[in-house]
Each structure stands twice: as C-alpha cells, then as structure tokens.
Amino acid sequence: MKETTLAMSVWRGDAAGGAFRDYRVPARPGQTVLDVVTWIQRHIDPGLSYRYACRVGMCGTCAMTVNGKPRWTCRTLVGTVAPDLRLSVAPLANLPVVKDLACDMTQFFDKWRRAEGRFQAAPGSAADFAVVPPESAARQAADAGIECIGCAVCYAACDVVSWNPAYLGPAALNRAWTLVNDVRDGAQAARLAAVAGDAGCHACHSHQSCREHCPKQLNPTAAIAGLKRLATLAALKGEI
C-alpha cells in the first residue's frame, strides 16, 4: 500500500531573515503538528530548531503559526487543520525569532511584569487564612482567566501588538485582571495605573482575535474590558 505523506512547508531562518523549506513527512493517524515537526528534526533535518516541553497542553512552549494561524502544536491534530495534507509551520508572529520555529519570549514575559502581573500580598494578609468564597463575583472573574498557560498564541494573534510594540498584550492584561479580582492582593492602584493608557487596556480595539485563538478558550478581551472599566473609574477618582 502506498504511504500517504504530508506536504510540509517549514520556516527556516533566524532574526536576520529566512524562508520556507519543503519536506515530505509520513502521515499517521492521530498525528499532531508537534509530532510532525519532531519527525522532521529526527529523520530529515537535525538542525531544525523549535521549542516544546510537556507535549500535553500545559507548559505553553510549543506554540507556532500553523497554516497562518497561531496554535499550540502539541494539541493540534494535523487531520483537523490540514485535511488536504498540506501544512505550513512558522514561528509565532509579533515576537523576534531566535532560530527557525523558536521565538524569543523575553518581551512577552517582560510585559507581564510591566502589567504588575505578580501577586502582591496586602499588608497584614499573612496573619490568617484568607476566606475567598468561590461563588463570589470577583473570584469567578479571576477563575475565568486563571488557566492561562502563557503560550503567547493570543499575543501573536493580536493586531494591536503588531501596530503598537509597547502594547502589553492580551496575556499580560488577562493576568492583571485575575489579580485585580484577587481580594488578597494589595497593589491594585499601582496595577491599574500600569495597565491604563496607550500601552495598556485602553489601546485594545476588541477585535477578539485573542479569544478566537486562545487554546484554553479564555477570553482576554473580556478581561481587558473589565480593566478598562476599573482603570477609567480610578482615573475619574484621581486614584491613578
């Protein structure tokens, strides 16, 4: 029986530039895009660089541009995205390329820091256990965005990031929103000041590409809308 093959087009290059290179890879049932990239590296081209760790959709390291769309490759079945057995794989958009399919994530995580995306305990909060009712509105708002794995798919999908390199991006703002809704956190005014303005939530055009592409089905656009409301209220009160 003749073996079915995938027509792969993989971007090869570095920060200075590059181009797509074609490969033919055996098609297998249940094959993921990451499986295919790994097959190329192990059987055709050992020099192919890419990044992955867990292979089960938890670590957020394997995102790439697959047939023009940002996706987590470890959980993307070839049969789903390439029924015609033609597949292009490129590095994520909006991030500098290190080599081939591996991007430099530094700016992505720097923006989490700039958005005050770390928990800062309120003074005195360590004295006793905090009681956070799971059904409270704030906790539910935080829970809605808490499962972010930091894959940068939303960041690559965001038009505003491509237009405004300083824009914090959907993931950092979503992280800030989870903390804004954390009643134990004591740095809310500083966080709202950090996420307001041209580089922050107010720059979002609500295109919802982040929501469309998020592999965890999160809705950063809603988180950003929440930040817009709170930051604007804080501006009216003169708190930021």
Partner 1 sequence: MSRARAEALLWLAQRASAAVLGVWVPIHLVTIVAAVRGGLSATEILERTQGSAAWAVYYAVFVLAVSIHAPIGLRTVARETLGWRGPGLELATLAAGVALALFGWRAVAGLVMA
Choices 4-12, 21-29, 84-92, 228-236; region in contact with partner 1 by CB under 8 A: 228-236
Shortest distance (Å) from residue 232 CB to partner 1: 5
Of the two residues 5 and 162, which places its CB atom closer to partner 1 in the complex? Answer: 162
Nearer to partner 1, 82 or 161 (CB): 161
CB of 194 to partner 1, least distance (A): 8
**Taking CB under 8 A as the criterion, which residues in 109-128 touch partner 1?**
none
The per-residue DSSP string of the chain comes to -PPPEEEEEEEEEETTEEEEEEEEEE--TT-BHHHHHHHHHHHT-TT-----S-SSSSS---EEEETTEEEEGGG-BHHHH-TTSEEEEEPPTTS-EEETTEE--HHHHHHHHHTT-S--BPTTGGGS-----TTSHHHHHHHHHTT-----HHHHH-HHHHH-TT---HHHHHHHHHHHT-TTB--HHHHHHHHSSTTSGGG-----HHHHH-TT---HHHHHHHHHHHHHHHHHTT--
Residue among 211 and 228 whose Cβ is closer to partner 1? 228
The region of 86-94, 105-113, 150-158, 190-198 touching partner 1 under the rule CB under 8 A is: 190-198
CA distance 148 to 60: 9
Hey, which residues between 146 and 185 contact partner 1 (CB under 8 A)? 160, 163-164
Q: Answer yes or no whether residue 228 interacts with partner 1 by CB under 8 A.
A: yes
Identified binder of partner 1 from the candidate list 60, 70, 200, 226, rule CB under 8 A: 200
Among 21, 69, 202, 216, binds partner 1 (CB under 8 A): 202
Q: Does 198 bind partner 1 (CB under 8 A)?
A: yes
Residues of the shown chain interacting with partner 1 in the complex, contacts defined by CB under 8 A? 160, 163-164, 192-194, 196-198, 200, 202-203, 228, 231-232, 234-236, 238, 240
